Structure 1
Amino acid sequence: MTLAPWQEEAWRLLAARRARGAMPHAILLCGAPGLGQRDFAERLGAWLLCEQDGDTPCGTCRACRLYAVRTQRDPEETRPDGALAQPHGHPNHPDARFVGYAWNAKASPKKMYGELVVEQIRELSDWLALPPQFGRAQVALVEPAEALNVAAANALLKTLEEPGPGRHLILVTTQPARLPATIRSRCQRVELHPPALATAEAWLRGRGIADATARQALVASDGNPGQALEWIEADKLKLRNEVAKDLRELSAGIAAPFEVAQRWSRDEADLRLRFAAALVQQQGRVQAQAASSAPAGGPLALTRAVDLAKLAAWFDRANRTRDLLRGPIRPELAMLELLGAWPTTRASDGGVQSGVK
C-alpha cells in the first residue's frame, strides 16, 4: 500500500505527531469519494501495529505479514450497492479488526444489514477491553462511519470517551457531517484533499490515461484523480455527457421531465444524480464568475444564466433525492419531483423560469 501524492502531507502530519508521542487514539479520516481514504486507513493500521519504529510500515515483520494476509467472510459481506464491504478482506492479525456492513444472522432468511448496528460496536468495545495479543497495540477500522445507526453511534461514543492505552480507532467516511457532533469532537480529523491539477494529470498519465481523457475526467470529478480514474476505467464519462444533455434539453423545454425521470430511475440512478449535482455546482461557479449580462456557458452550455439561488436549491434537492433513493420510495416518483423543479432558461421568461411543478 503506497501513498498517492495527495495523501503524503496527511501522512507526514501523523508521523510528526507519533514522533512526539501525541498520536491520537481516534482518527476521523474523511474526504471526497475516490481519494483513497480506505487504503490510507489500512496502511495506517499496518503502521500502528508494525514492530519496527519507522515512519512507514516495514512490510516484513511478523505483524506486517499477518496484517497483509486477508480473508473474506463466507458468504461475502457486501455494501448496499453490491461492492465488497471489506475490499481487501479482513486481516489475520489478532490485534486488528475491520468493522463494516455485515450479515444479520438473526434474520430469516439471512441478509445483510443496511447500516452498522449496535451489536457490532458492543462486540468491538469488548474486544478493545482485552489486552493486545502481541502486546503492542490494537487497531479498529470502522468504514463507512456515516452508516452507524443512532444506537451504534451512542455505543461508540462510550468507547471514545474511555480510550485505553495503545487502542486506536480509525473512522473512515466521505460524509462526516452525517456523524453526530459528539463523535466528531472526540476524534482527530484528518482530511484528504484533491491535488493541484498538474499533479492529478501527471498521476493519471502515469497510469496510461491520455491527456485529453484525463482532463475531461478531472473536470467531471472536480479535480479528484482517484474518482476520475474510476470513471475512466468503468467508461462512465458517457453517462455524465448524457446527464448534461438531458439537463440542457429540460432547460430548453425540449425534453419532458416524466420521460427523463423514467430513464434515470431505471439505470444507475444514484450516479446520474451525483453527476447532475456536480454539473449544477460547476455551472453555478461559471455563472458566478461571469458578467450577469453575458451568456453563461459552463458544463451545461446554457445560453442564458439561471438564477444562482435556483441552481443552489436544485443542487440541494438532488442530494436529498440521492438519500431518498436509499429508502423504500419509488425512484421514478422521486426523480419526477426533482426534475420537475429543474429551472428552465427560455427567452420568453426573461432568462429564468421556475420549471414544471
Structure 2
Amino acid sequence: MSVPSWHAEHWARLQARRQRDALPHALLLCGPRGLGKREFLQRFVRGLLCQQPSDGDACGTCRSCLLFRAGTHPDYVALSYGLRKDGVQRSEIVVDQIRQLSARLAKASQFGGWQIASIDPADAMNVAASNALLKTLEEPASQTMLVLLADEAWRMPATIRSRCQRIDFQLPPEAEALAWLQDVGVREPQAALAAAGGNPGLARIWSEEGALAQRQEVRKDLAALAAGRGSAMEMGKRWLDSVPEQRLWFAAQAVADEMRARAAAQTGPLASGLDMENLVAWYDAANRAREALRGPLRGDLLLLELLGRWR
C-alpha cells in the first residue's frame, strides 16, 4: 500500500536522529485513529531491528526481518490488552503486564542491538500500570526503546507524556488526503472524506465497510423523528445493535449541517423543530453519549434519552 505522504516528515526526523545516534528511549505516537500510526510503528521497528537497512527501511530478507515477520523476534515485544484468568479479554492494561515488560527490557539484547517494546493502546493503562511504567521511563536501560501508541493521548498522565519524544499525527490538507484516497482506490473519495471529518484513514476504512450508506440512514432516522414519524425506542435499539459510536458521530455531523443551514437562514437537511440553542445542546449531548458508551452506563437508555430529546 502507498505510504501516506503525511508520514514523510516524521519519518525523516527519526531517521536523521538515527544517523546521529540520538534516538530517544521513549516515543509517543499519537493522533486520531486512522492516520497510520501503527503502520508507521511497524515500519520503524522493522528498520531498526534489520541487519542491513536501507534509508531506515528493512531489507525484508535478513534473519532479523524473517523473525519479525514470523512474530518471534527476541528483541521486540508488543504489549496490548491481555486476558484475565477466566480467559476474557481485559478492557485495560494492568500493572502486572508492565512489570513483566520492565523485567524483559532489563535483559540483554539477544541480537546485540536495540530492544524495543510497544504499548498499544497506551491510553488504556490504568493508574497502577502508568505508575509502574514511569519508573522504567525514568531509568531506561541501554539501547532499549519504548514506543507508546495512543489515539487519545490526553487520557495518559502528563508525567508519562512528558518523558516521551512525542510524534503527533495530524489530519493532512484536503488535497493531500484526496490524492491518497484516490491512490488507494477509494470510490467517491470526496464524500468519504467528508463523512470521516477530514480523516483519510477513517474515510478509507468506512468506505470499505459501507459506512456511507449508514450515514444516510442516520440522517433519514433523524429527519423522520423530527417529522414525528418512527419510534425513538426502535431507532435506539437499531443504533445500539450496529456500531453505535459511529452512528452518533454521523448524527452529530448531521446536526452540525442543520445548524449551518439555520445560520444561513436556510432549511436544514433534517427539518428539525428545535431552535438553535437546543440544536447546540443536542450536538453536545450526542458527543457526550458517544464517549459514555465506553463506560458502564446502559447504552439503550443513553440512546433512548438522546433520541427522545431530538423528537
Structure 2: distance between partners of 1:111 and 1:47: 34
Matched-pair contact (CA < 8 Å) for 2:43–2:58: no
**In the alignment, structure 1 residue 234 sits paired with structure 2 residue 204:** no
Q: Pick which of 191-200 and 135-144 moved more.
A: 191-200
More helix by share: 2
**In the alignment, structure 1 residue 336 sits paired with structure 2 residue 304:** yes
Find the partner of 1:175 among 152, 159, 164.
152
Alpha-carbon shift at residue 122 of structure 1 (Å): 0.5
What are the within-5 Å matches in structure 2 for residues 142-221 of structure 1?
A: 142-210=119-187, 213-221=188-196
User: Aligned letter for 2:233?
Assistant: F
Q: 1:43 to 1:315 in 2, by over 3 A?
A: farther
Structure 1: where are the runs of 5+ without partners? 70-90, 343-355
Aligned to 1:223: 198
Aligned to 1:122: 99
Equivalent position SS for 2:145: strand
Structure 1: distance between partners of 2:254 and 2:233: 20
Q: What is the TM-score normalised by the length of structure 2?
A: 0.88
CA deviation profile, 1:213-271 (whole Å, cap 9, x unmatched) = 21111110122222111111111111111112223334454455333223212332222
Find the partner of 1:101 among 58, 61, 81.
81
Q: 1:8 to 1:129 in 2, by over 3 A?
A: same
Q: Which has the higher contact order (CA 8 A, sep 6+)?
A: 2
CA-based RMSD: 2.6
Aligned to 1:268: 243
Q: 1:237 to 1:293 in 2, by over 3 A?
A: closer
Structure 2: distance between partners of 1:295 and 1:67: 57
Q: Pick which of 53-62 and 115-124 moved more.
A: 53-62
Equivalent position SS for 2:28: strand
Q: 1:196 to 1:160 in 2, by over 3 A?
A: same
Matched-pair contact (CA < 8 Å) for 1:296–1:304: no
Alpha-carbon shift at residue 134 of structure 1 (Å): 0.9
Aligned to 1:29: 29
Equivalent position SS for 2:159: helix
